Amino acid sequence: MSSVLKAVRGTRDLLPPETALWNHVETVARSVFARYGFGEIRTPVIEPTELFSRGVGEETDIVSKEMYTWEDRARAASEKAQSLTLRPENTAGVVRAYIEHKLGETGRLQKLCYIGPQFRRERPQKGRYRQFFQIGAEVIGPPSSGSESPLRDAEVLEMLATLLDELGIARASAENNYKGWKLALNSVGSSTDRPRYVAALREALAPVKDKLCPDNQRRAETNPLRVLDSKDENDQAIIDSLPKIVDYLDAESKQHFADVLAALDACGVPYTVNPRLVRGLDYYTRTAFEFTMETGLGTQNALLGGGRYDGLSETIGGPKAPGIGFAIGEDRLILTLQALAEEKQSAEADNHLHAHKLDAYIAPLGTEQNAAALALASTLRRAGLSVEVGDGTFKMKKAIPLADTLARHLIILGEDEAKAGEATVKTLATGEQVRLSSSELPKRLSSAKP
RNA sequence: GCGGCUAUAGUUCAGGGGUUAGAACGCGGGAUUGUGAUUCCCGAUGUCGAGGGUUCAAAUCCCUCUAGCCGCCCCA
């Protein structure tokens, strides 16, 4: 027996009116990005697997166990089948495009933003889906374009603060019981600092490894940086005693980070430095950051994350092209806004979650009025009004309540009106009604718009 | 990938071996042939997530699967 087909695990359909909120978020994001000089880039959803294994890092969780990867069909016996992957993140793709189109040759700083689906095969949870959407941006260019400047880091962070402000998400403060957004950042060191620090970590971990929890023992081997942000209670004392990354930053990296912080202070962007913040992607250098949010998200409380990736371009065969970027978890942003709307913390989000009433609902009385009703709807719609048309079989008893749920005005088109070239317009909220000639309708309804 | 909880009408949920599966909201029809949100009457809500098993009898107990949620891992 055939069973009902459903969306595959971890993927979902987004339906109205929720999609109105998605559109709102994307509109605000595009508006903010445009003001900071970003242009949109659209890269393919499929990329060569190698882009991620080299760019993101073979040993990362994303690459080692979360990618949707398959062998493409070879076109000829002589051709080798290519391994393809559904992108698990978009930074590598953007940098690939930057290299492929020789954008560095322009000599100018590239500011690129994107909105699109990403794919990771993880166990689904609230705020974590196998197809999820990221809104991101990258600032990248040859060193001569100023792409390495701490000004760029601060600008990106300040832009994110502006975006969240404009979406009506408050900053954490005493007034909201510190439940707004929080920015944490750290410097994970340059591409020469980082290996020195990781080596020191390994050395420090070796003698105490046996005392750590099994998870941390494993991390000590595979990815020592991850031990730092472990939540295991018993391991905290050991973790506190481990070497700090700050002590391994060279003078240049230290100055860079200090300059980022100073610029944030100047812009009034609140932050906390978290020396234990590390990110799961290999390409991050120097500035790494994340914005977290308690409302609406369970344990998946990272609303967005990002950082600098000064060596990524070279890793995947490109020219030197330092950059910094971020990715916002759009699904999580939506969950946050929905929760804020529910808690009456965001009238704006609430507004987008409810379908807007149309300007008018046309009720033809009798199917012989259907054609005239549709023609009238056409005229009104071309005049910029939002209109729904009922069917002539609907009785008044059905048409009026239906009109009330959908629209502000009911236009009755019956035999009497048709003969006179008129229509009856009823204002549903008050029950008042007037008869007008059809030609007056567009002007009349337009002036009644809220 | 690991552990736990859950799955019944369009929606929110009740029913925990006993034959015909319920409530509310919503939906359809009527009281009222062109005037609503109130009221009254009537009706349909459904493979009780899927498959298998135990039993005279399974929505109910057992197993497997699927999906969602919560936690872990990790990340957006």
Tell me which protein residue sits closest to nucleotide B50, measuring alpha carbon to C1': A3
Of A329, A350, A371, the residue that ends a domain is A350
CA–C1' distance A6–B62 (Å)?
28
pLDDT tens sequence across A34-43: 999 999 999 9
CA–C1' distance A414–B33 (Å)?
14
Q: Using the CA of A120, which nucleotide's C1' is the nearest one?
A: B75
Q: Using the CA of A398, which nucleotide's C1' is the nearest one?
A: B36
Q: Using the CA of A304, which nucleotide's C1' is the nearest one?
A: B76
Spatial CB neighbours of A124, under 8 Å, sequence gap ≥ 6: A9, A10, A130
Query: H-type helices in A308-414, by residue range?
Result: 312-315, 330-342, 347-353, 370-382, 396-406
CATH number at residue A277: 3.30.930.10
User: Residue A329 belongs to what H/E stretch?
Assistant: strand A323-329
Q: Using the CA of A298, which nucleotide's C1' is the nearest one?
A: B70
CA–C1' distance A8–B54 (Å)?
33
- Domain assignment present for residue A210? The answer is no
Q: Whose CA is closest to A318, among A120, A147, A439, A66?
A: A147
Q: Using the CA of A432, which nucleotide's C1' is the nearest one?
A: B35
Domain that holds residue A405: 357-447
- Domain assignment present for residue A11? The answer is no
User: Residue A182 belongs to what H/E stretch?
Assistant: strand A182-187
Q: Are residues A406 and A273 in the same domain?
A: no
Tell me which protein residue sits closest to nucleotide B71, measuring alpha carbon to C1': A299
CA–C1' distance A199–B31 (Å)?
86
How big is chain A by its Cα radius of gyration, in Å? 28
Q: Rounded to an integer, what distance in angstroms lies between the CA atom of residue A309 and that of residue A140? A: 9
Calculate the alpha carbon distances from A443 to A55, A439, A446, A447 in Å.
Answer: 59, 8, 5, 6
Q: Are residues A289 and A408 in the same domain?
A: no
How many domains in chain A?
A: 2
- Domain assignment present for residue A394? The answer is yes
The answer, yes or no, to whether residue A423 has pLDDT greater than 50, is: yes
| pLDDT, position A227 | 85
Q: Are residues A392 and A339 in the same domain?
A: no
CA–C1' distance A8–B19 (Å)?
39
**Cα angle: A287, vertex A290, A294; to 5 degrees:** 160
| pLDDT, position A263 | 98
- Domain assignment present for residue A230? The answer is no
Q: Using the CA of A284, which nucleotide's C1' is the nearest one?
A: B75
Tell me which protein residue sits closest to nucleotide B51, measuring alpha carbon to C1': A1
- Domain assignment present for residue A141? The answer is yes
CA–C1' distance A179–B63 (Å)?
45
Strand B positions within 7 A of protein Cβ atoms: 1-3, 27-30, 32-37, 47, 50-51, 66-76
The answer, yes or no, to whether residue A438 has pLDDT greater than 60, is: yes
CATH number at residue A416: 3.40.50.800
How far does CA A419 lie from the centroid of its chain? Answer: 55
CA–C1' distance A299–B71 (Å)?
9
The answer, yes or no, to whether residue A296 has pLDDT greater than 90, is: no
| pLDDT, position A290 | 95
- Domain assignment present for residue A237? The answer is no
pLDDT tens sequence across A84-110: 999 999 999 999 999 999 999 999 999
- Domain assignment present for residue A313? The answer is yes
CA–C1' distance A227–B52 (Å)?
46
Q: Are residues A393 and A281 in the same domain?
A: no
| pLDDT, position A3 | 61
Of A289, A317, A350, the residue that ends a domain is A350
Q: Are residues A363 and A301 in the same domain?
A: no
Q: Are residues A323 and A370 in the same domain?
A: no
Q: Are residues A301 and A442 in the same domain?
A: no
Q: Using the CA of A419, which nucleotide's C1' is the nearest one?
A: B34
Of A284, A318, A350, the residue that ends a domain is A350
pLDDT tens sequence across A143-202: 999 999 999 999 999 999 999 999 999 999 888 888 899 999 999 999 888 888 888 888
Q: Which of A53-62, A212-221, A322-331 is predicted most confidently?
A: A322-331
The answer, yes or no, to whether residue A288 has pLDDT greater than 90, is: yes
Q: Are residues A158 and A276 in the same domain?
A: yes
| pLDDT, position A343 | 78
- Domain assignment present for residue A256? The answer is yes
Query: Are A413 and A406 within 8 A, CB to CB?
Result: no
Side by side, the strands of the sheet bearing A387-389 are A387-389, A358-364, A407-413, A422-427, A433-437
Q: Are residues A282 and A416 in the same domain?
A: no
Dihedral sign of CA atoms A313, A319, A323, A329 in order: negative
CA–C1' distance A405–B32 (Å)?
22
CA–C1' distance A176–B5 (Å)?
32
CA–C1' distance A372–B9 (Å)?
39
Average pLDDT score over chain A: 91
Q: Are residues A166 and A72 in the same domain?
A: yes
More confident residue, A307 or A395: A307
Q: Using the CA of A405, which nucleotide's C1' is the nearest one?
A: B37
pLDDT tens sequence across A1-47: 346 778 889 999 998 888 999 999 999 999 999 999 999 999 999 99
| pLDDT, position A1 | 37
The answer, yes or no, to whether residue A207 has pLDDT greater than 90, is: no
pLDDT tens sequence across A218-269: 778 777 888 887 777 777 888 888 888 889 999 999 999 999 999 999 999 9
Q: What angle do helix axes A150-166 and A251-267 make, rounded to 10 degrees?
A: 30
Q: Are residues A295 and A441 in the same domain?
A: no
Q: Are residues A43 and A147 in the same domain?
A: yes
Q: Using the CA of A415, which nucleotide's C1' is the nearest one?
A: B34
